Chains A and B, each alone.
Chain A
């Protein structure tokens, strides 16, 4: 048995989730690591912020409570103490002790219960959250795992979760009055996205000197793109039949943020995601609306993407309200 973990502190008294199958890539993530980008340290955080934030919300957790981001499934783990959990994001066909469970709602698990997430037709990332959050010591203010930077995660080395890892959590309060089952909290229907084969992303065109010229941006909005096979936590490369040509390719490297759409020399755009590099020198087409990035993050290769230009003011109000509700 590979249950001897490198976190020596774990004992049978503690509540731990034992990872028996880590799957393709399962990473501990909190809301991210902020204020260190001037050292070249990226923000990281959940690829799908919407699913992540709702998981914490329905459990009554702080928005920054650590979760496990499970990419494409193949995941199996065992709880050694009761807990209340939630799974939001891609429906990777989760089961508890082989009985299917619903996503976007809370569930109660008992000692010894085994959770499995296999795979999905639509979507890439599922978020396994637990009441109180996973108890992981942050590194540089966050437990978000950045493999490229060898930073964060369970062992403070940026490694993804591995078989035999023990992830501590806070035990559920079992001293409930009588035999009443704890009530289930469900995400409101209108807040549950559907991951489709074709999506529209709103974006703010970049009109600065470091932006692409207007005709290129126009062409960009007229084309349909497909998510390519080249997608990672750093960025999603998109592909269209006609490469864009941009005369303005003389850009000096500057700070980058999530959602910016770069146009490298090959004329096929890249949308920067959570683990992006902190500076970059490609000309910019614009920035994807923060709230629409969740949808892009869940898009598998082949998903069709269209970009709809919008004004900043419109998005700012919406995002302000959204953050006001979910970032609390």
Chain B
């Protein structure tokens, strides 16, 4: 772990520069520790795949003192090693219903062709796994989930779509994600959830958070429609 000062009131803690579950666990652990111990100084905390970005209140603490405090916490985390079984239980497991129908899974055929699996197998492979939220960004509530089975991993589309519908579930490389809003996008779309991922009138405004574990449950067309899904 290494602390890099970025600005007067910002720094990044960098972990091993490889995207793995182990690194994600460390990020999560340190983040919780920072939230507990340094809440009075922290303005924003952005955990990501292999890093934590912090901005803090320089009216309350100097840059150097803040770095020292963070440094002390990073040492606590590196002492706890590795396979920490307790951690899994601390993570939220969220189940998301998905309709993997052809009307909404616009790129299922392409992934099937690319992988040599049948469409049914592609769906099975995707929904069998439990994913971790490694990072959030791009837009509010957009969670980068990893990692999909190698067989169904596929690069972003060469030409992004101008409009991907809200709730669409996609794959890009080894990552999978749901578009919380209508937006342009280049991910390969395999299904759609009827659930609203972002609601600014709720606290918290997003269903997902970095560190959550996500399981997709295949639902029928009628359940999708009943829950307010749009084809």
Shortest Cβ gap from A274 to chain B (Å)? 13
Residues of B within 8 A of A284 (CB): 6
Residues of B within 8 A of A140 (CB): 200, 205
Query: Any chain A CB within 8 A of the CB of B125?
Result: no
Given A39-B136, A312-B63, check contact A279 B9 (CB 8 Å). no
Given A206-B6, A256-B53, A287-B7, check contact A34 B63 (CB 8 Å). no
Q: Could you mark each residue 245-266 of chain A with 1 if its beta carbon is under 8 Å from any beta carbon of chain B, else 0?
A: 0000000111111011000000
Shortest Cβ gap from A202 to chain B (Å)? 11
Q: Is the CB of B209 within 8 A of A312?
A: no
Shortest Cβ gap from A85 to chain B (Å)? 28
Q: Is the CB of A254 within 8 A of B12?
A: yes
> Which chain A residues (57-106) contact chain B, with CB distance < 8 Å?
none
Shortest Cβ gap from A270 to chain B (Å)? 15
Residues of A within 8 A of B138 (CB): 40, 277, 279
| B: number of interface residues (CB 8 Å) | 45
Q: Could you mark each residue 122-146 of chain B with 1 if its beta carbon is under 8 Å from any beta carbon of chain A, else 0?
A: 0000000000000111111110100
Q: Is the CB of B139 within 8 A of A38?
A: no
Query: Any chain A CB within 8 A of the CB of B5?
Result: yes
Residues of B within 8 A of A252 (CB): 17, 19, 48-51
| A: number of interface residues (CB 8 Å) | 47
Q: Is the CB of B206 within 8 A of A40?
A: yes
Given A40-B140, A156-B200, check contact A255 B8 (CB 8 Å). no
Given A149-B140, A315-B8, check contact A38 B47 (CB 8 Å). yes
Q: Is the CB of A39 within 8 A of B51?
A: no
Residues of B within 8 A of A36 (CB): 44, 205
Q: Could you mark each residue 26-43 of chain A with 1 if its beta carbon is under 8 Å from any beta carbon of chain B, else 0?
A: 000000001111111101
Given A260-B7, A290-B9, A312-B5, check contact A279 B48 (CB 8 Å). yes
Q: Could you mark each residue 30-62 of chain B with 1 if its beta carbon is under 8 Å from any beta carbon of chain A, else 0?
A: 000000000000011111111111110011001
Q: Is the CB of A255 within 8 A of B7?
A: no
Q: Is the CB of B48 within 8 A of A253?
A: yes
Known: A40-B141, A319-B9. 9 other contacts (CB 8 A): A37-B44, A38-B46, A39-B136, A253-B144, A254-B48, A257-B10, A278-B137, A279-B137, A287-B6
Residues of B within 8 A of A (CB): 2, 4-10, 12, 14, 17, 19, 43-55, 58-59, 62-63, 135-142, 144, 181, 200, 204-206, 209-210
List 6 A-B pairs, minimum CB-CB distance, nearest first.
A255-B53, A255-B46, A279-B137, A208-B4, A287-B7, A254-B51
Q: Please, could you name 11 A-B residue pairs with CB atoms under 8 Å apart, sorted by A?
A: A38-B45, A38-B136, A40-B140, A140-B200, A149-B140, A204-B8, A253-B135, A254-B48, A277-B139, A284-B6, A323-B59
Residues of A within 8 A of B (CB): 34-41, 43, 139-140, 148-151, 156, 204, 206-210, 252-257, 259-260, 277-280, 284, 287, 289-290, 312-313, 315-316, 319-320, 323-324, 327
